[in-house]
Amino acid sequence: MHFKSIKILTLICAVLTLGSGLLTSGTITIADSPKTPNASQVYVQSTKHLIQKYCHACHGPKKQKGSLNLSLYTSPQAVQKHRKTFTKVIRQLNEREMPPPNKPTPTDKERAAMIAALQGVLRDIDCSETKDPGRVTIRRLNRTEYRNTIRDLVGVRFDPTKGFPSDGDGGGGSFDNNADGLFLPPILMEKYLDAATMILDKAIITPPIQKRIDPEKLPAHLAQGKARKDHTFLNSTGRISWNFHFPKTGVYTFEIRAWGERRGPTPPKIELRLGKTLVRSTPVYAPAKKPGVYKFRRRVNKGSYRLTLNFTNGTKEKLPSLSVDYIKIIGTPAPINAQAKVSHKAIFTAAPAATVPARKAAENVIANFARRAFRRPVTPTELKNLMSLYDRAAQRGDPFELAVKLALKRILISPFFLFRIEADQPAKTAYRISDYELASRLSYFLWSSMPDQVLFDLAASKKLSNPEIMAQQVKRMLADLRSIAIARNFGGQWLGYRSLGITRRPDPKRFPMFTLKLRDAMKMESTLFVHHVLTKNRPILEFIDADYTFLNKTLASHYQITNVNSETFERVSLPNRSRGGILGMASILTLTSYPLRTSPVLRGKWVLEELLGTPPPPPPADAGDLPPDDRQMDGLTFRRRLEQHRKDAKCASCHNRMDPLGFGLENFDAIGRWRNEQAGKIIDTSGVLPNGERFSGPQELKKILLKQKETFARNLAEKLLSYALGRQLEYYDECAIREIIKGLKKDQYRSTSLILAIARSYPFGYRRNHRPEDED
């Protein structure tokens, strides 16, 4: 009974040890079922008086510290109306900031009662009146989304985000796709610019540049000397110069076809300069009858340069003369890989031909790319701006592919690509988002990537918002391999395994067997399992308990399970139920341990916080800590020491909730191996919950957790909705959550109904314009 209402109980865990009758009847049920009418009654009958007793001295009719007068809120309706004020009140009560220590403070029981009642009142909203889809801040693609989007847009198979600053890992109810945590510092802009270059270099095959310069065709101020029919003749010191744009950094070959006439012992000498830098100089021995071709090679940084060919020794009499036929600049061909052939073909949807002018073809390619990159149709102005970059390059003589590339690069650093932008519509109230926006919401939710052609086509014909078509699409997308993203990113952040081995790592000396191979196997098991449950329409309760999992040889031997002989993961039926579900997974068990030992406290807290969504309050500032190692000390086992710790009343209230859950998992060591003994003693895996319920070992623990299925389902629904929307949930999302849970229960907790309900939910399909109150 106590356990059932854990959501509120953990908030007010101080109360639990007292086993109070006063609370259990009223406040506790409130939290479990948001519609319970009792919250308001409790507020009127008791909470109000407690607030009067403890708060009014400073925040009442006589004194209004911080301009707060709590005596004004006589009815539950008034509390609801001043939601922000009371959210703060609850927080300060919960964190024991108020009342201050030098004033009369409520007993833990009273404090808990106040919090519970106020929570209940705030939650008890009327969904027929409250209708707000909320507003998602425009957000840039996070690192994962950028990587996946580039993969699907350009078709290159490499990681362009290597070296991008980390977008962090979600935690505390937030995911890494939440706009409020996604910044765009200059360092990232530099990386975007570099990445755009790198991506297009890999995806597009550019023919090496070949440019022939005939000096006789240059204007006279550039080519000194006498222009002949097919060459230029220099009979005194002179120079030929011209401007040239090197489209990319690389090695270039300079070919000069020339001949000289000797009138004495010295042959004519020429030198080639790049800007002021000498490339090379050479004597020209070749006679007019047999002109020579002089080749220089040099690495040149991309950019425009003034090139000069100097004839350096023609001044004096009896000195030679020189004739130059042409100068060629030849780039080095880039190696062509098979991948580039495919991506190149996909990007170049048109090519210049006899009937197709180059500019027309370029426009086609650029418009197609922009439409997919911006995930919506492109406006004529946008296309014009993009074409101006093509023109810039084409006019100075860049080859077709290179000129197009410049415009594509512009697309890849545009805010319309880097951000997911949804347009305001001229409306005062909420409105349905466009079909294109819906396509992006769906694809980034399920694939962490851009929509594919099917979604684009449905958006173009405005069919995607049709509920039946959307349901079909959701099912199609879940069946697509790209849906692995939801397991990696949502699952990995919700359950924490994405950061396994990064922020939490077992001690390498104590656990040398925790290798990268094992770590990756642990992550893979969790990813595949979460993917299976979420996309194969399994009941979500399998997260708590299942009779199967996914293993390869490495992980199976870690679990002491035989008959898995390949390093390829396969679905494995489990011989008994101690492993099944996420609590039996090595990834989670390692994450919830310290480097040197297991931690029943961390594990218990993890179950409450991540699985059930009912985190215990922070420990008091002066709470002690246990030793980092679990070897026996002072003749006490670790469990005994923890039990001593719990004798301290201020610790007991919360630890009585957390620790027993963790004890139930003590058969798993700090890297998730099964053990029966520790330090020579049989492990005691029994736990007693505050309501007196007894259990022992993981199997019985899971049975108890399964009784909490509604709390678990609510937690999962809240987390998944927050991930799908890319924002933290607000109080008005309660209505959507209620709808989602109703549908889930009806459908035996099947995952597809959860995902469909989210995709169809009001906040997912609607938005509204900015309001001043969003600023807080």
From candidates 4, 44, 105, 419, binder to another protein by CB under 8 A: 419
| Cα distance between residue 445 and residue 724, in whole Å | 5
State yes or no: residue 83 binds another protein (CB under 8 A).
Answer: no
Query: With respect to another protein, which residue has the nearer C-beta, 376 or 531?
Result: 376
State yes or no: residue 699 binds another protein (CB under 8 A).
Answer: no
Neighbours of 76 (CB within 10 A): 23
From candidates 395, 509, 562, 682, binder to another protein by CB under 8 A: 509
| Cα distance between residue 379 and residue 377, in whole Å | 7
Q: Check residue 149 and report its DSSP letter.
A: H
From candidates 457, 547, 567, 774, binder to another protein by CB under 8 A: 774
Apex CA 517: angle with CA 511 and CA 521, to 5°? 100
| Cα distance between residue 720 and residue 730, in whole Å | 14
From candidates 72, 193, 288, 353, binder to another protein by CB under 8 A: 193
Q: How far apart are the first and last CA of the chain?
A: 38
Query: What tokens does 421 get?
Result: 């932008």
Q: Using the rule CB under 8 A, give the single segment among 227-235, 328-336, 517-525, 627-635 that binds another protein.
A: 627-635
From candidates 210, 388, 429, 515, binder to another protein by CB under 8 A: 388
Residues 368-387 that bind another protein (CB under 8 A): 382, 385
| Shortest separation between residue 520's beta carbon and another protein, angstroms | 15
Of 61, 41, 59, the C-alpha closest to 113 is 41
Neighbours of 674 (CB within 10 A): 15
Of 274, 219, 268, the C-alpha closest to 244 is 274
Query: With respect to another protein, which residue has the nearer C-beta, 185 or 219?
Result: 185
Backbone angles phi, psi at 554, to 5 degrees: -55, -50
| Shortest separation between residue 362's beta carbon and another protein, angstroms | 16
In three-state secondary structure terms, 67 is helix
Beta carbons of 581 and 546 less than 8 angstroms apart: yes
State yes or no: residue 224 binds another protein (CB under 8 A).
Answer: no
The 706-745 contact track toward another protein, x by CB under 8 A, reads ----------------------x-----------------
Residues 317-376 that bind another protein (CB under 8 A): none
Residues 274-313 that bind another protein (CB under 8 A): 274-277, 301-306
| Shortest separation between residue 584's beta carbon and another protein, angstroms | 25
Beta carbons of 138 and 727 less than 8 angstroms apart: no
Q: Is the peptide bond before 99 cis (omega within 30 degrees of 0)?
A: yes
**Strand boundaries in 36-80, DSSP class E:** none
Q: Assign residue 316 a region: left if phi > 0, alpha if psi is -120 to 50, beta otherwise?
A: beta
Query: With respect to another protein, which residue has the nearer C-beta, 296 or 674?
Result: 296
Total length of the chain: 776
Of 268, 295, 273, 297, the C-alpha closest to 283 is 268
State yes or no: residue 95 binds another protein (CB under 8 A).
Answer: yes
State yes or no: residue 265 binds another protein (CB under 8 A).
Answer: no
Query: With respect to another protein, which residue has the nearer C-beta, 419 or 731?
Result: 419
State yes or no: residue 184 binds another protein (CB under 8 A).
Answer: yes
| Shortest separation between residue 181's beta carbon and another protein, angstroms | 4
Q: Using the rule CB under 8 A, give the single segment among 42-50, 191-199, 661-669, 696-704 that binds another protein.
A: 191-199
From candidates 60, 181, 283, 539, binder to another protein by CB under 8 A: 181
From candidates 96, 328, 359, 409, binder to another protein by CB under 8 A: 409
Q: At what angle do helices 186-203 and 143-154 cross, to 10 degrees?
A: 20
State yes or no: residue 392 binds another protein (CB under 8 A).
Answer: yes
From candidates 173, 208, 250, 292, binder to another protein by CB under 8 A: 173
Query: With respect to another protein, which residue has the nearer C-beta, 470 or 670?
Result: 670
The 135-164 contact track toward another protein, x by CB under 8 A, reads --xxxx----------------------x-
Neighbours of 723 (CB within 10 A): 24
In three-state secondary structure terms, 504 is strand
- Residues whose CB is less than 8 angstroms from the CB of residue 536 and which lie 6 or more positions away in sequence, other chains included: 751
Residue type, 350: A
Query: What tokens does 189 get?
Result: 């802009």
Residues 575-614 that bind another protein (CB under 8 A): 594-596
State yes or no: residue 187 binds another protein (CB under 8 A).
Answer: yes
Q: Using the rule CB under 8 A, give the single segment among 419-427, 570-578, 662-670, 738-746 that binds another protein.
A: 419-427
From candidates 35, 91, 536, 707, binder to another protein by CB under 8 A: 91
